[in-house]
Amino acid sequence: MLIDSHVNLHATQFANDREDVIARARAAGVRIMVTICDRIDRFAAVREIAETHGDIWCSIGVHPHESKDFLTLFVNDLTDRISARVVAIGESGLDFFYDHSPREAQVQVFRTHIHSSRESGLPLIVHARDADTQMAEILEEEHAQGPFKLLMHCYTSGPELARRAAALGAWFSVSGIATFKTAEAVRAVIHDLPAERILVETDCPYLAPVPMRGRRNEPAYLSYVLAKLAEIRGWDVADAEARTEDAFFALFDRIPRP
């Protein structure tokens, strides 16, 4: 089955046709989606989408861009909101490219998410951009305090962070960026990721894959990402679909497998 491990269905870009977007995803063979929380004060909208659609689950978390607004975030602010439809913590992490929040704020809030993941047993969805060394050091330091599951979402960082995260048992998700003409370095890293720990995602409404690049992204375009992953790894598409499905359920083990 096709599984989109990272969608942003609460985004304003879907405000006028969200149900149509979900219907097109189903028609394209997408059987499961995980919709992502980027701010605690938007969680109710994210949760409602998951609670009203049997094939959609959600996360609870604060995106690194938003960290500056959540400096008093505590572990229980995340864990107290966990319910049957909440299957992950995040996305959270470090984004030193845009620096929309001070770096120390990003680190502080990210560590709170890690502690919440460890306490709850839910996997942590990690955002990492232009912060490879700092991200690796934090993950290794925290993992030494107690293991937690993690997904390096939309992985576009370098091979060294991939190696260090993989040593901690991380999963990695591949997005439409892998289809971009200029993404040779990304494809080289994808080629060497642990074969049993690769997922696919759209990160919609962002990062539409070729040949849909330039449009609003949708879960219905996930097959283009899967096809590129298959090409990069030398798998046929059916094998890539089966491998990413197995990896998804190994990570998101609270989602029942149909």
Model confidence at 200, pLDDT cuts 50, 70, 90, reads very high
Query: Mean of the pLDDT values across residues 170-193?
Result: 98
Per residue, the 3-state secondary structure of the chain, as one string, reads: CEEEEEECCCCHHHCCCHHHHHHHHHHCCEEEEEECCCCHHHHHHHHHHHHCCCCEEEEECCCHHHHHHCCCCCHHHHHCCCCCCEEEEEEEEEECCCCCCCHHHHHHHHHHHHHHHHHHCCCEEEEEECCHHHHHHHHHHHHHHCCCCEEECCCCCCHHHHHHHHHCCCEEEECHHHHCCCCHHHHHHHHCCCHHHEEECCCECCCCCCCCCCCCCCHHHHHHHHHHHHHHHCCCHHHHHHHHHHHHHHHCCCCCCC
Q: What is the per-residue pLDDT for 178? A: 98
| Phi, psi for 143 (deg, rounded to 5) | -65, -35
Q: What is the per-residue pLDDT for 203? A: 98
Give the CATH architecture of domain 2-251: Alpha-Beta Barrel (3.20)
Q: What is the per-residue pLDDT for 154? A: 98
Query: Mean of the pLDDT values across residues 144-169?
Result: 98
Query: Mean of the pLDDT values across residues 208-215?
Result: 97
Q: Which residues contact 231 (CB under 8 A, 6 or more apart)?
A: none
Q: What is the per-residue pLDDT for 188? A: 98
Q: What is the per-residue pLDDT for 236? A: 98
Gap between the Cα atoms of 146 and 159, Å rounded: 24
Task: Report yes or no: 118 and 143 within 8 Å, Cβ to Cβ.
Answer: no
Task: Report yes or no: 178 and 221 within 8 Å, Cβ to Cβ.
Answer: no
Q: What is the per-residue pLDDT for 1? A: 93
Query: Mean of the pLDDT values across residues 165-180?
Result: 98
Task: Report yes or no: 4 and 200 within 8 Å, Cβ to Cβ.
Answer: yes
pLDDT digits (tens, 9 = 90+) for 2-52: 999 999 999 999 999 999 999 999 999 999 999 999 999 999 999 999 999
pLDDT digits (tens, 9 = 90+) for 43-81: 999 999 999 999 999 999 999 999 999 999 999 999 999
Query: Mean of the pLDDT values across residues 75-99?
Result: 98
Query: Mean of the pLDDT values across residues 105-121?
Result: 98
Model confidence at 103, pLDDT cuts 50, 70, 90, reads very high
Task: Report yes or no: 96 and 103 within 8 Å, Cβ to Cβ.
Answer: yes
pTM of the model: 0.97
